[in-house]
Amino acid sequence: MITANNTMAGHATRQSTGIVNLLLGPVLVAGILSAGNANAGVGDGPRAYQLAPVGTEVVTVIGVRQNSNYNLDGSPTSPAARVEVTAMAFQYTRVIDVGGNAAGLFAVLPFAGADGTLLNGARQPSSEGLGDVIVGGVVGLIGSPALNPKEFGAYKPGFGFGIVGKLALPTGEYDSSKAINIGTNRWSLQLGTALSWQFGDSMRPGEVTSLELTPMVSIYGDNEDPNGGNVLEQDPLYGLEMHVTHDFNRMFWGAFDAVYSAGGATTLDGVAASDDVEVIGVGFTIGATLPRGTNLEFSYGETIKDDLDSYDDAIYRIKIKQVF
């Protein structure tokens, strides 16, 4: 199990006939995917850490539309506030050999626009621009041999285990006079493990069914120039992501997605907000493997349990991937 998030490889003459997934962490746009994406039932996404041939390169374009009660930095808003986000991200991933195991290195460049609305209908100033750049990697430790395309096509999958790390840098647009920002004005680090059970005779499209579990913890630096205060701190956010995937045929596959998140309470100038969360989200994903290494994927997710308020968070995500 390894590589990166949600990209299926094309033909064997290009890279392989198997599935390549490119890592897109839950910190896509200043936290929209750390709190919102995970809480709304999408998370990193199905087949996010599957084996891929060494040398594979993938460029991915991601579009996201989300309606939630989470700020872009991953902290919960007032129960009376709603945040609407439209985001686009560009991601590059390369699979390399690390000590005989496959590993995926990646970078994500996000852009977004966000608007907020209070329960009384009062709109907050909008924000748009560059989000926080994300860099990271995933290294397979068990069931993730470094294979060339020919070896990959004949590989029989099974149990896989790997480690994941993602660092979000405070590069995004930020204005402390605004309650809603694209940038977070702080760093965040996500660490986790990726476990998968692959059922099938090979990794070729049309032959894969999988069960995937991904426990994660997100650790946040301090924002020393927050809106309405001097220092914003946030406790770690813990999460567990689960996906059950199945190939319907050589072109189409689908997945049931579920996520659980807990923790993440914030403190502003030493005053605890008591806004830690416990959230359960569910969703589904439909993917299509097209000729010449092009792949499409659509995901929808929503919350079914959220301690913050009675709103149903929802997210729509589209990915277009090109394998080289």
Q: Using one digit for the tens of pLDDT, what is the confidence trace for 144-198?
A: 999 998 899 889 989 999 999 999 999 999 998 887 888 889 999 999 999 999 9
Fold of 6-323: Porin (2.40.160)
Give the integer Cα–Cα distance in Å for 238 and 217. Answer: 5
| Cα R_g (the chain), whole angstroms | 19
The pTM of the full predicted model, rounded to 2 decimals, is: 0.84
Kindly report, residue by residue over 201-214, the tens digit of the pLDDT. Answer: 888 888 889 999 99
Kindly report, residue by residue over 187-199, the tens digit of the pLDDT. Answer: 999 999 999 999 9
* 239-243: average pLDDT: 94
Give the integer Cα–Cα distance in Å for 140 and 75. Answer: 31
Please name which of 176, 29, 13 lies closest in space to residue 90, comparing C-alpha atoms: 29
- Cβ–Cβ < 8 Å for 157, 143: yes
Helices marked H in 53-162: 149-154
Phi-psi region of 41 (alpha: psi -120 to 50; beta: other; left: phi over 0): left
Give the integer Cα–Cα distance in Å for 236 and 25. Answer: 16
Q: What's phi and psi for 293, nearest 5 deg?
A: 75, 15
Give the integer Cα–Cα distance in Å for 178 and 176. Answer: 5
Q: What's phi and psi for 114, nearest 5 deg?
A: -140, 145
* 276-303: average pLDDT: 91
Residue boundaries of the structural domains of the chain: 6-323
